[in-house]
Structure 1
Amino acid sequence: MTASHFAHDSANPTAIDGHAFASNRLRERLIPDQAEGRTPAIHFVGVCGSGMKSLVDVISDAGWQITGSDFSQNENTWNELRKRNLIRLNDVSDWKTTESCDLLIYSAAVPESDRFRQVAEQNEITQISYVEALARITNPSSGIAVCGTHGKSSTTSLLSHFVHAAGVHATTFCGAQQVADGRSGRLGFDDVTIVEACEFREHFLQFRPKQICLLGIEPDHFDCFPTLDDAIRAYDRFLQSLPVNGILTVNWDCETSRDLARKHERNRQGRVVSYSLTNSEAQWTAHRSGHTVFIHENGREVLSGDFPLPGEHALRNLLAAIATLSASAPIDEKISSSIREYCGLKRRFEVVSQSDNRVVIDDFAHHPTEIRVTLETARQQYPDFQLVCYFQPHQVSRTRSLLHEFADLLRLADEVFVLPVFAARETLSELQETTAEELARLVAESGTKSQFLTSLDPIRTRLETTPRTKELIITLGAGDIAQIHDDRT
């Protein structure tokens, strides 16, 4: 892959022509049998999912007709979707346009028994999963896939930001919303795609990218990968999808990822680009002094700039994006300037509110490693504040498998409140509460004040009170805990 990978398509010289060209290309890939001359119509089932919203953004950019359904009653989410001209269908009886619907796209959490899917089958409407839709769009393109246990959304977002700064109109799919505009996807004029490739149920094996960025591999998704070796085998298969001239960007600080990269390099399966914050052998390295970051290639400083996001993990994601971009575009002053303009993602160390005596931060962290870097960053940024953590574990299988790791790292807070486990694709059971109670007890046994809460209500109550001392309240989890902040806005 060379810089020509990011060459502009001569068929879209203007924004107006480019939009029509991109919309037509999207139609040819997503609904190839649909006749031209009519605006395509798509229905989304499970539309409130984080990944699905990126696809809604892209299809909305194309100007298509879109409807959606979901069990979620979060009005903030629905209001965001309405801004994309999506029409909400509360019940299958509201679906009056089945005769003109070209495609139904469903999320991984939606079963075949869903009423909308049943009606679609009765009306012979084509149905595909969210991941299959992304694969149809991205596989024929010059695609870049970002994968790994942690940092996928942030790195995908940063990479998309830098690609745009380089003057390339890429189509992007990110699993989280931008703070700046609330978007998580965008339809681009150029035939370049950037996709967040999730390992859950080996979904990323449906993608055929020309370049892969591997951020690191740790035990996770225990309902899919009972052991770390199971996960490694899935990642190995994904890396094998790279073409002979493909490029693999790898976190050299992760031993597992490093070993996989060396294996693929020996097998002549693409070129490896390495990055690291601690290993000087890596091609790309970085360090931070205050708010300024310094990026080095083979020991030579190539750019520097103010980076507004705190934490070592944010610096590592930034470096991953720069190293990935370097294979396809020059790392020049345009990229350096764009670093300071990046505003971050919602639910990624997002400062929800701030006053003299209280700071409220919301974060998606739901794995021990993510909790560690989030709480450490909180300590560094607000050393004089009492750190109060409200944690909603995500999935019983993950929580029970990593129970002691969670307990050890939650001790980094001064006060911990544990909520019932958010089931997320698991069957509701009493284990949601008993597992959370056990976690709260383990944290308390370590000497940290800890308590189990049965609902979100005590958090709302605390946020309505005035603190007597400086306190930093941080809400953690990948479930619906962020809804308390939506309710207050």
Structure 2
Amino acid sequence: MIKVNTSILEGKKHIHFIGIGGSGMYPLAQILHAKGYYLTGSDNNETETLDAVRKMGIPVYLGQRAENIEGADLIVHTAAIMADNPELIASKASGVPVLERSELLGIVTSWYENAICVSGTHGKTTTTSMITQILHTEGIDISAFIGGKLPCIGGSGKAGSSDILVCEACEFVDTFLKLYPDTSVILNIDADHLDYFGTLDNIIASFRKFAEKTSKTLIVNADDANTMKAVAGIENKNIITFGTSSSCDYYPANINRPSGTQAKYELMHKGEKLCDVTINVPGEHNILNSVAAAAAAHSAGASPEFITKGLEEFGGAKRRFEIIGKKNDITVADDYAHHPAELTVTLNAAMQMGYKNVWAVFQPFTFSRTSMLLDDFAKALSIPDKVVLTNIMGSREKNTYNIFTKDLADKIDGCIYFDKEKKAVQTNECKQADFDTVTDYLCEHAAPGDLIITLGCGDVYKVAKAVYNKLK
């Protein structure tokens, strides 16, 4: 089991964050800043997150250089920072303790009596946000660490005074094994990050370690065979099940869908009605996410009244089927989906919402995932009416897989991408397709009644905002 030195922050005053604009760094910065630590940070690109960091009074350096770490007595970096990064090299040579982001998050979870850690291949951010919304609406002064922005807490993190932390727990390179969960939610287990895990069995084994590390309660998806395999035979834990069957501890009954973006159901607990629930986020998957969130919030002390109120007020986390706006009767949305299973549920939901055409604008993320799940991506991206692809965002990887956008586009009928002359094509190897080109194409070809939804965990959200601004 992975061990983290939880005492390493003792006596530390100045913490420097390399890559402070990252989705996993910003909420940590919020919590530590609220706890009284002096923070500095650096990043390579201007983003809305960096603006938010600066508004907290945290100095941020644009560009990563050795001198940025001056004065720090603890340095934190994201997993995406390459080994040859000059700031990271200087940090490791400085003699100052250096932590990877997930190690610091592990330490933070150890500070709380009830750290609710939400895991699963899909749905973590939405479910973590739903739990946070319910408990916040109840008036419990929780702390939170979310992989997306939640309007009710004004960001992706919150430092509260209670003993409850709601925390997203990511399985990537086993980072969730560095956490100290008191209550764990396992939403589902699917084949992902195969460049690290190798096989689905290895992923299941890691989730089992995560479950075994949980000190009190496991809240698990009884509909998901891989999840149930991971927790089979585990003892000395309070195991709570959720799912669609009446055999589960928590399940939805009498589901009604007044519209494509709304669902109503009766939340059942051990065969008895607990409360009525209305959710205002689309997709079948979000019904189950909301049941999981209700189960976790209820076990943490939320009342049925505020489960109802919190879920009804939840309008989605940022980048989770987020409606950017509507102009000229064209709706523009953005979603974080970057795995075939996520694309499938998101695009199926979009296709059921009554739009004339659904335009899916997808930015593949990492060469390894694109290569290993190529056919699954092609199948998912065959769901919408129109598909536009950008280049693959390699992130932390080099293209040793010799995989290109063309390889995916060739498997999708009518798929659009761009050649070196920036012409929309369905043949020839894809060259760098800048977002301006994609934006121009969408604005020229989308029609009234259409939905344009950008998809991916990179920076493709910039296209959604650019399209909306150009239409506006």
Asked if Structure 1 and Structure 2 have the same fold, meaning a TM-score greater than 0.5 normalized by the shorter chain, the answer is yes
Among 226, 230, 238, the alignment partner of 2:198 is 226
Query: Contact between 2:64 and 2:85, CA under 8 Å: does it hold in 1?
Result: no
Give the drift of 1:397.
1.4
Q: Partners of 1:330 and 1:457 in 2: how far apart?
A: 46
Q: Partners of 1:188 and 1:181 in 2: how far apart?
A: 11
Q: Partners of 2:9 and 2:144 in 1: how far apart?
A: 19
Give the drift of 1:65.
2.6
DSSP 3-state at the match of 1:150: coil
Residue in structure 1 matched with residue 386 of structure 2 by the alignment: 415
Distance 1:96 1:325, change over 3 A: closer
Give the drift of 1:465.
4.0
Among 236, 241, 244, the alignment partner of 1:269 is 236
Residue in structure 1 matched with residue 110 of structure 2 by the alignment: 139
Q: Partners of 2:281 and 2:84 in 1: how far apart?
A: 43
| Superposition RMSD in Å | 2.3
Whether 1:255 aligns to 2:255 is no
Please list every run of 5 or more consecutive structure 1 residues that lacks an aligned counterpart in the other structure.
1-27, 35-39
Q: What are the equivalent positions in structure 2 for 1:361-376 lying under 5 Å apart?
A: 361-376=333-348
Among 403, 407, 412, the alignment partner of 1:443 is 412
Give the drift of 1:424.
2.2
Whether 1:31 aligns to 2:9 is yes
Give the drift of 1:410.
1.2
Distance 1:140 1:64, change over 3 A: closer
Residue in structure 2 matched with residue 349 of structure 1 by the alignment: 321
Give the drift of 1:463.
4.7
Q: What are the equivalent positions in structure 2 for 1:62-461 lying under 5 Å apart?
A: 62-71=35-44, 73-91=45-63, 95=67, 98-99=70-71, 101-142=72-113, 143-180=115-152, 182-243=154-215, 246-264=216-234, 268-277=235-244, 279-287=245-253, 288-289=255-256, 290=258, 291=262, 292-381=264-353, 383-428=354-399, 431-433=402-404, 436-444=405-413, 449-453=414-418, 454-455=432-433, 456-461=435-440
Q: Partners of 1:256 and 1:228 in 2: how far apart?
A: 9
Distance 1:140 1:86, change over 3 A: closer
Q: Partners of 2:195 and 2:64 in 1: how far apart?
A: 31
Among 462, 476, 483, the alignment partner of 2:455 is 476
Among 30, 34, 40, the alignment partner of 1:61 is 34
DSSP 3-state at the match of 2:194: coil
TM-score with structure 1 setting the length: 0.85
Distance 1:293 1:60, change over 3 A: farther
Give the drift of 1:30.
6.0
Query: Contact between 1:92 and 1:116, CA under 8 Å: does it hold in 2?
Result: yes
Q: Partners of 1:394 and 1:468 in 2: how far apart?
A: 28
Give the drift of 1:457.
2.8
Give the drift of 1:114.
2.6
DSSP 3-state at the match of 1:175: strand
Among 43, 48, 59, the alignment partner of 2:21 is 48
Provide Cα deviations, 1:334-381, integer angstroms capped at 9, x if missing partner: 222222222321110011121352111111111111111111111122
Please list every run of 5 or more consecutive structure 2 residues that lacks an aligned counterpart in the other structure.
1-5, 419-431
Provide Cα deviations, 1:199-230, integer angstroms capped at 9, x if missing partner: 11111111121111000100000111111011
2:100 aligned partner, one-letter code: S
Distance 1:443 1:41, change over 3 A: same
Provide Cα deviations, 1:127-166, integer angstroms capped at 9, x if missing partner: 1111111111112422111111001111111112222233
Query: Contact between 1:74 and 1:483, CA under 8 Å: does it hold in 2?
Result: no
DSSP 3-state at the match of 2:148: coil
2:458 aligned partner, one-letter code: G
Query: Contact between 2:129 and 2:146, CA under 8 Å: does it hold in 1?
Result: yes
* Alignment length (residue pairs): 442
Give the drift of 1:187.
0.6
Q: Partners of 2:25 and 2:416 in 1: how far apart?
A: 35
